[in-house]
Structures are given as structure tokens and as C-alpha cells.
Chains A and B, each alone.
Chain A
Amino acid sequence: MKKYILSILILVSTISFSQEKLKGMIMDKNGPKNNQGIYGASVHWLTTNVGVTTNEKGWFNIPYKSTYKKLVVSFVGFKTDTIIISSLKPVHHFLRENNTLEEVTIESKKSATQKSYLQSQNLITINSAELLKAACCNLAESFETNPSIDVNFSDALTGTKQIQMLGLTSPYLLITQENIPSIRGASQAFGLSFTPGTWVESIQITKGAGSVVNGYESISGQINAELVKPYTNHRFFANAYASAGGRLEFNTHVNQKVSDKWQTGLYIHGNYRGQKFDKNNDNFLDNPLAKQVNIMNRWQYVDAQKGWVSFINFRYLDDNKQVGQFNFNPDFHKGSSTVWGSEIKTKRFDTSAKLGYVFPDLPFQSMGIQAAYSNHKQDSYFGLSDYNIQHQSFYTNFVFNSIIGDTRNKFKTGVNFTYDKYDEFVKVGLAQDFDRKENSFGAFFEYAYDNADDLSITAGLRIDKHSLLGTFLTPRLHVRYTAWEKGVFRASIGKGRRSANIFAENQQFLASSRQINIDGVGVGDKAYGLNPEVAWNYGVSFLQGYKLFGKKGDVTFDFYRTDFKNQVVVDWENPQEISFYNLNGNSVANSFQLEVNQNIIPYFNTRFSYKHYDVSTDYKSGNLDKALQAKHRFFANVSFETEKKENDAHWKFDVTYNWIGEQRLPNTQTNAIEYRLPELSDSYNLLNMQVTKVFSKKFEIYAGAENITNYKQKNPILGSDDPFGVNFDTTIIYAPVFGRNFYTGLRFKID
């Protein structure tokens, strides 16, 4: 109807002015309110100087001649589009935002995954829309639709998913929450499953050396999770989830305005799994029994006129897991050698505060201070072994941002201080304490040059004085060069250093009969008597955006190499032992990735990637490829959405496919023949699918299936017939243990 009125109007106008005009509207595709016009967008006929700008409502009216064919629409911060015009039908066109992301800028509704064309770092932003593609219940599960991060299965017992980047496990990644280092130390193994998926607003993944601002610890990359903000999150949100695997989850968010400048949010998450499954009849639970309560309270303060912003967070977590044999009952069997079982109990308290100030007269100058405290306490036993760790951590950081000369030359400088206190108790046969305190003080300077065109360079240097690692420098360099339109070359190089928390990071070995072997334990005041890990990371990447038959696509190649100067080698090659020792020789991780994103028709997107990893280490027994690491992987994700109706009703379909190649298995040749494994695992396929029906802006339901092909690792627990015997081992996991799983859930929100 509207269209008819419009065409009549156009007819009237053509008659009255006896000059043909084309009318249309330019809108913001990703604007906070869809269909809102863009004011001041420029519209002109290609190769002419006939142009207009749009009015406050996004409308334009441009003189038309039949020789004019192509209309160019542009607006700052948006991608310029060319529209082919064949008739005087009114034009309704959506502009898409350009990927001009600030380092920590959070945009609520852009395309689900973004690759930056302008950042000097190889940065990928995943926002909440991408997170909804799979009913990811926590941060560990939220990378399943993204090929840059691999999700691995780390142990048969706890079902905890480990993530990897560039062929290296998560301890080599710096994981930050709103730029405060968060999943480290004692929380390394399970920490990712302690952040509920609905709390995550967006995730930034930086491949390769990160920024010096966040510390020296990142080696293969950095993952930053931004949580939902009281100001921008829904006034009320609820999510409920249930799976055939017996997992129930509930999330609720309540955000409340307190005053003009203060806003607060209360976020509650609970999950529960009380049903026992033993589908592979090995007498062990396929999934842990689990209970988690997670509560967060955030306060946000904004005073735009004076330039102050602030966040204050409080968070409490209580997580319990029970694993082991089907009949295990902790009340009767704990500490006895009749039935094998294990309990992992974690309590964690976090608090953090941030204060930022933008100089009102100098928009390019700002400063910020962050402080965070956490107390993480895990009490656990695995059969007859005990593992208890309490980690108290304090972190503070001050950053000052400004320019040198003009806004093309920016810098960040500041200092930070970290304090970590570990009370660690390990009993595997013998009992041993590994208590220690670490503190570090560092200062950094990062210079960024950006000519607002084709070149940007970020160079950073930091110096740290660490109580155990000594005094050392950390250099990092990133360069971006845009050689031609949407053709972006990047290169990076950087050094990283960390002290390994060998038990916290490798807890799965406790659910085996392996003996611990640490070289140099008790020597000096180093953690576990081991030297810190030091590595260089080098990377190059090329990103090309293009249009194929008018549809957008991009292709990325990247190659990264991590070269360890010193590494704490985790050696599983003797099936009766786990050994930790400092690297003597070479340890290298090479990673190559090819990724193609292609839009087929509007709302129909595909993503394909191929990854090749070549990770090898000099063990005492010789140079070997990393165990449980597929050399070849293939990934595909297809997503489709139906057109939105006026009340926002639509359908969403998502399919993710993974092919995981053969993996080398740790050496088991010294075992009795029935406890030996082949040298290589089989390759396998994984297929996940999800359908979402959005009924309105307020309500949606989703249903999905994981591991549709029902691939299960045969015999995931070695020696499951005799869990107190010498061959018991749950660590050699390369594929899902639990088969096909269906789930469903709903989301309800009020703005």
C-alpha cells in the first residue's frame, strides 16, 4: 500500500516538475532500531556529479535520466554500495556498517562475526548473534561455530572442553574478561565453563602475539570476553534449557536503573545434571553429575558530560562435579578402593572495579584504572588421590591514552601489578605441598600509527619484574597494510612468557594410575623447580573481501609459528607416568588456516575452513608430534534466516560440520596387550544443528541436536575394568564420549 502511494507521489511529482526523480530511503541495516533512516548519507549517480544527501528520515530525491544506471550510496562508517536502477520504483536500501572497531568497542547488533579490515592485529569479533547459533551454555562451548578456536575433549570424566588456538592449548592463550586477565592459575582447567553463555556480550579473538597492555602471558593469542552491560542489556531476560543428556540450565538477568547515572544488573545462572548415563557400558558415567550456581551483580556508572565511566562487579560461583563409576556414592565409597569415584568442588569469589575518564576537551585523551581480586578454591579427590588448590589473586592496571602530534600517532602507556598466592596440595601416593607466592610489577608503552588509509603499525614494549621469573622485556609488533581495496596484509611478532601451573592445567592425569615425575623439583625458588616458559610467535595473514555475483564474501589465509625457547614439557609417553621437565631442544607449533566466508542469498551465509597443524616437541624419547592433535581439520557452518515479519517473527537454521583427522595417540606399547591403543586414532565427523523460531521481539524457542552422526570413541577409559589397577587411564580422549544429544530451550526478554 505504502509503495502505491509512493509511486503515485512520484508520478505527481514527475508531472508537476516535468522532470523525472528517483525517490528512496537509506537505512541502517544493523542500527539499533531496524528501518531507521540514515541522515546525511550521500547518494549520487555513478560517473556523474548529480548527488544528494538524505534527510533526517533517511529519504532522498534525486534527479533521474534514463542514461543513469548505477546509484552510489555512501555514509561514513558504512560500506559504500552501488545499486543498479532500472526503473523509477522507489529504492529502499540498507547500508551495512564498516568494520571500524575500536579495541574494546562493543556494538550490539552487527554481523555475527566480524573480521577487521582496519585493525593492525588479526582480530575477529564474535558477537551475541553468533553465540546464539549454538545453545552454548558457557564460554567453553561458545567457540563451536568459529573455526579460529578448536574445541577439544580433554577428559572422559569431567567432560570439560578444552580450547586450542594455533595448535596450542588454552594455557598459552591469555583469556581476559573485559580486559582483566581472568582464566589463569587455578581456574585454568575449568574456568571457561564458569562463565555462562548468556552473560557474554561479545568475544574478541586476537591471533598471534597480543597487545602488551594486558601483560606478558599471551603466547598464541588472546581471547577477551565482554559481558553484558546493565545499560545495554535487556531489562529482563530469561533462558531455560534442557537436554536429553540430562542437563538443565536456567539463566535470568534483571537490569534496573538506580539513578540518572547509575544502573545495576543482577545475573543468576544455575545448571544441574542429576541423571546417570552409561551408554557405552564401561561401568563409568558418560557425563559428570553437576551442580552450579553462579551469581553476578554489576554496577555501571556513566557521566557523559564530565567524561567518567565506571564498572563495579561482584560474582560468586559454587560448582560441584561428581564422576567415576556408575555406582559410586561419595557417602560410602570416598577414600575406599572398592568403587572408583571423584568429586571436584569449586568455590570462587570475584570482584573488580574499573574507572575510566575521557578528557572532555580532548576527545583523544583518556585514562583508566582497573583492579580485580579473586579467590578460587578447589577441593577435589580422584579415587585415592587428592588435589586441593586455593588461588588468591590481585591485579591492578593503570592506562593512559593520548597522541603524539596528531591523532594519527596514538600511544598507550601505564603500569600494572599482579599478586598471586597459591596453596596447593597434591597427594598421588605421597602427599606434597606446592605453596608459593608470585608477584610482578610491569610498565608498558605501546605506540600506534594509523594514517587513516592503508597503513597501521602497533609497536609495544613492556618490562616486568617478577618474583620468580626475574626481570625481562616483552616486545610485540603488528603491522597492517591495505594493498588494494579490501586486500589486507598483516604481520605480527611477539614474545610471551609464563610460569606453568602444571597440576591445575593437567588435572585429568589424576584420574589415572600415572605416577608424577617432575625434574628439578625443590630446586631454587622456582615454581615446581621448573624454568618459566618462553616463546616467540610469528604470523602473517592475508584477508581479501570480494563480491561474487553481487554477494559478499571474504577469504583469509593465515600462517602462524610458535617457537618455544623454553617450555614445560608434559610427557605422556610412558603410560605409567606423567613427566614434567624443561624443554631440551626444539618445540614448534605451525598452524595454517584457510577460511572462506560467502553470502549466498540475503540471510544465507556459509563459512568453510581448512586447518593444518604441525606441532612437534623434543621429548626425552625423541621428537614427536603432539599427541591428541589432529593435523588436518575441516570446518563448515551454514546459517539461514527467513525474512523478518513486522513483529520480528522469523526462523533461523544453523548447521555446523567438523571433520577431524587422525590424531597421534600417546605411546601405550609397554602395556599388556589388551590395554594397548593403536598409534593413530580414526578420523571422524561431527555434525551439529540448531533451529530457532523467533515469535516476537520478546519470545523465542530453539531446538537442536549435537553429534547427529552419533560418533563415539570406543573404549575411552583404558583399564575401566580395574580402576585401581596400573592400567587405569582416562586421559586419552580424542572424540566425544557421549553420543547424539538433543536439546531444547526458550528465551524471553523485555526491553
Chain B
Amino acid sequence: MKKIVLVISILLISIATSAQKKKKNAKVFFDVDGVCMMCKSRIEKAALNSKGVKYALWNVKTHQLNLIIDERKIDVSTIQQNIANIGHDTGVFKAPKLAYDNLHGCCKYRDEEVQDDHKKEKK
């Protein structure tokens, strides 16, 4: 549910902003799946490697990735695609199987056992 709301809101934001002038320092955020600190550095690196992303901070608790981007150079979906390509699901894009399989054992966020443990701990 939360994710749907997020996706819709992101879509709305991007529609709203594209109608306006593109901002040089736009703050955007979306969810990225991941479990650990290793994921964090991988996700943030992938974000920063996307040209136009100035700042990236991923929160391991909330799974939210906060970005400051130059909208004239990049759009959010490109960044999401880039992050998915290195193995992390984002709200819209699912990571390719090959990329996901390449992740370190502790980063297998789709693994039920790993996920279950997370859910338990979150409650």
C-alpha cells in the first residue's frame, strides 16, 4: 500500500515538475530494496554514478533513498533503472535476475528468510 502511494506520488511529482521549469537542485526520494550497509554503499554509489545526481543518502531502516538531482540532466526513472541494474529493486523497476544473483549473500533482500527476519525485527 505504502509503495503504491509512493509510486503514485512520485509520478505526480514528476508530472508536476516536468510541466514546470526543471530544477537545478531538486529533492527526490523513492524506496529502494536492500537490507544492509553493504547494500547502502552499493545503492548510493549507483545513484552517484548516474550523471546529474549530486547527493545520495539511503536509509537502511526506511529503505528510502534521498537524492538531490539536476533535473535538467537526468530524470528519476533513469536513476531507478540504474539502481535496478546493479541488483536493487526500486518502486518501478525490478532488478534483473543476473544482477540480483550477483549480490553478496547478506544482501539477498528477496530471500524469504532474510525478509522474514526483517519483518519480525521491525515489529
List residues of A whose CB falls within 8 A of some B CB.
39-40, 42, 44, 47-55, 60-63, 72, 74-76, 80, 361-364, 403, 405-408, 452
The answer to whether A50 touches B117 (Cβ under 8 A) is yes
**Nearest 8 pairs of A and B residues by beta carbon:** A52-B117, A42-B36, A49-B105, A44-B106, A49-B108, A40-B61, A76-B37, A406-B54
Bound: A76/B37 CA distance, A: 6
Q: From residue A434, how far is it (CB to closest CB) to chain B in Å? A: 53
Bound: A364/B122 CA distance, A: 31
Bound: A52/B113 CA distance, A: 9
The answer to whether A361 touches B25 (Cβ under 8 A) is yes
Is residue B120 within 8 Å, beta carbon to beta carbon, of the partner chain? yes
The answer to whether B60 touches A61 (Cβ under 8 A) is no
- Chain B interface: which size bin? 20 to 34
Bound: A482/B47 CA distance, A: 23
Residue from B68, B106, B111 in contact with A42 in the complex, judged by beta carbons closer than 8 Å: B106
User: Which residue from chain A places its CB closest to the CB of B58 in the assembled complex?
Assistant: A76
Point out the residues of chain B lying under 8 angstroms from A363, CB to CB. Answer: 55, 68
The answer to whether A39 touches B61 (Cβ under 8 A) is yes
Is residue B53 within 8 Å, beta carbon to beta carbon, of the partner chain? yes
Given A42-B60, A51-B106, A407-B48: A364 and B54 interface contact (C-beta under 8 Å): yes
Of the listed residues A51, A62, A361, the one surrounded by the most CB atoms of chain B closer than 10 A to its CB is A51
B27-81 contacts to A, CB under 8 A, are: 27, 35-38, 40-41, 44-45, 48, 51, 53-56, 60-61, 68
Given A74-B36, A403-B54, A452-B45: A362 and B68 interface contact (C-beta under 8 Å): yes
The answer to whether B35 touches A51 (Cβ under 8 A) is yes
User: Which residue from chain B places its CB closest to the CB of A39 in the assembled complex?
Assistant: B61
Of the listed residues B36, B108, B118, the one surrounded by the most CB atoms of chain A closer than 10 A to its CB is B36
Point out the residues of chain B lying under 8 angstroms from A76, CB to CB. Answer: 37, 40, 60
Of the listed residues A44, A55, A74, A363, the one surrounded by the most CB atoms of chain B closer than 10 A to its CB is A44
The answer to whether B60 touches A47 (Cβ under 8 A) is no
Is residue B11 within 8 Å, beta carbon to beta carbon, of the partner chain? no
21 A–B contacts, CB within 8 A, in A order: A39-B61, A40-B60, A42-B35, A42-B60, A49-B105, A49-B106, A50-B117, A51-B36, A51-B106, A53-B36, A53-B118, A55-B122, A74-B36, A80-B37, A361-B27, A363-B55, A364-B54, A406-B54, A407-B54, A407-B55, A407-B56
Point out the residues of chain B lying under 8 angstroms from A80, CB to CB. Answer: 37
Point out the residues of chain B lying under 8 angstroms from A50, CB to CB. Answer: 113-114, 117
User: Which residue from chain A places its CB closest to the CB of B26 in the assembled complex?
Assistant: A361
Q: From residue A16, how far is it (CB to closest CB) to chain B in Å? A: 14
Residue from A52, A61, A74, A408 in contact with B37 in the complex, judged by beta carbons closer than 8 Å: A74
The answer to whether B105 touches A42 (Cβ under 8 A) is no
The answer to whether A49 touches B53 (Cβ under 8 A) is no
Bound: A64/B117 CA distance, A: 12
- Beyond the given A54-B121, A405-B51, please list 17 additional residue pairs across the A-B interface where CB-CB is below 8 A: A39-B61, A40-B61, A49-B114, A50-B114, A51-B35, A51-B114, A51-B117, A52-B120, A53-B35, A53-B60, A53-B118, A72-B106, A74-B38, A361-B27, A362-B25, A363-B55, A406-B55
Point out the residues of chain A lying under 8 angstroms from B51, CB to CB. Answer: 405
Bound: A60/B121 CA distance, A: 7
Residue from B41, B44, B55, B106 in contact with A364 in the complex, judged by beta carbons closer than 8 Å: B55
Bound: A52/B114 CA distance, A: 7
Bound: A233/B39 CA distance, A: 37
User: Which residue from chain B places its CB closest to the CB of A59 in the assembled complex?
Assistant: B121
Point out the residues of chain A lying under 8 angstroms from B40, CB to CB. Answer: 76
Bound: A407/B55 CA distance, A: 6
The answer to whether B113 touches A49 (Cβ under 8 A) is yes
User: Which residue from chain B places its CB closest to the CB of A44 in the assembled complex?
Assistant: B106
Bound: A518/B58 CA distance, A: 63
Point out the residues of chain B lying under 8 angstroms from A48, CB to CB. Answer: 105
User: Which residue from chain A places its CB closest to the CB of B62 in the assembled complex?
Assistant: A40
Residue from B37, B45, B48 in contact with A75 in the complex, judged by beta carbons closer than 8 Å: B37
Bound: A361/B23 CA distance, A: 13
Point out the residues of chain B lying under 8 angstroms from A54, CB to CB. Answer: 121
